[in-house]
Amino acid sequence: MEKYFYKLHGLGNDMIVIDDRDNRIAPYDMPRAARKLCNRRTGIGGDCLLVAKDTDAADIAMLVYNSDGTQAEMCGNGIRCFARVVYESGIIPRDEFTVDTLAGVKRPQLLIKDGEVKSVRVDMGVPKFLTGDIPMDCGTEEFIMQPIASADREFIATAVNSGIPQLIVFTDDVRSLDLEKYGLPLEHHPYFPEKTNVSFVEVEDRRTLVLRTWERGCGVTLCCGTGATAAAAACIRSGLTDRVVSVRVPLGALRIEWDGESNIYMSGPAEKVFEGRVDI
């Protein structure tokens, strides 16, 4: 079975987008398709596979499969890339629409210049700090600026759900930190029954964060949109930054805006790499 695909990236976090509104791929074949297509040696290569589906809950639905075949509730960089494909392929020829995800309905807004999407701003909903919403089993109602151990170090961290479970780990050596050594054990920490993304953050100043992420089901990625959203929310909640934050990653920065109470907004690029046909 052949499918048309689009390969994009959001600040280096790369993904494959396919349209399966015709339901030609059986649900039980999605994990296998994700593993095959995301393989960097024998496939297209990507951190995740995004699948467009019809839905009654929004204008369109987005399913997210990590490179290991596991399904995720949301992808922050992914929804920006997904929105660009949906617009430019003519599926929904509007600069604002709704996307149904397993983390709820999201609303991307596209900045378009000369017919091309330059950036996307996404309403990411309200960050959730209650441990029952993350989910997290640690015996407390919230986990904010609390100690947590990984390998040979103890860190201070905050847990938040920004579409998927996120552990925001504060450090003053984020650029040199061994992400596999410390991120992998935290992804599988017994506190997290559904595992978690782990974003290591260094507060540079009140308007700037530096972020590196170990993603659940992927490993090290160059950028994590839900992680950047969660990191900004964690810092704003604790008074460490202002309410508009630039989250720097190796290939650029995301802009996060939050008033501390209502919905949080993420803005950033969605770059097209190539497109073509592939045998699913």
- The yes-or-no answer to whether 2-123+268-279 and 131-262 have a common fold is yes
Fold of 2-123+268-279: Diaminopimelate Epimerase; Chain A, domain 1 (3.10.310)
Q: Is the pTM of this model over 0.85?
A: yes
As annotated, the active-site residues are 75, 224
The residue ranges of every structural domain in the chain are 2-123+268-279, 131-262
For residue range 134-173, what is the model confidence (pLDDT) as tens digits?
999 999 999 999 999 999 999 999 999 999 999 999 999 9
pLDDT at 43 over 90: yes
Range 253-263 average pLDDT:
97
For residue range 202-230, what is the model confidence (pLDDT) as tens digits?
999 999 999 999 999 999 999 999 999 99
C-alpha to C-alpha distance for 27 and 223, rounded to whole angstroms: 28
Per-residue model confidence (pLDDT) at position 271: 97
C-alpha to C-alpha distance for 37 and 67, rounded to whole angstroms: 8
Main-chain dihedrals φ then ψ at residue 159, nearest 5 degrees: -105, 140
For residue range 3-14, what is the model confidence (pLDDT) as tens digits?
999 999 999 999
Fold of 131-262: Diaminopimelate Epimerase; Chain A, domain 1 (3.10.310)
Per-residue model confidence (pLDDT) at position 114: 86
> Looking up tokens 């202002």, which residue turns up?
242
Per-residue model confidence (pLDDT) at position 189: 98
Per-residue model confidence (pLDDT) at position 116: 85
C-alpha to C-alpha distance for 187 and 164, rounded to whole angstroms: 12
Main-chain dihedrals φ then ψ at residue 54, nearest 5 degrees: -75, 155
Q: Which of 154, 125, 148 is CA-nearest to residue 136?
A: 148
C-alpha to C-alpha distance for 205 and 247, rounded to whole angstroms: 11
Range 124-143 average pLDDT:
97
Q: Which of 163, 180, 173 is CA-nearest to residue 214?
A: 180
Range 118-133 average pLDDT:
97
Task: Report whether 191 contacts 137 (CB < 8 A).
Answer: yes
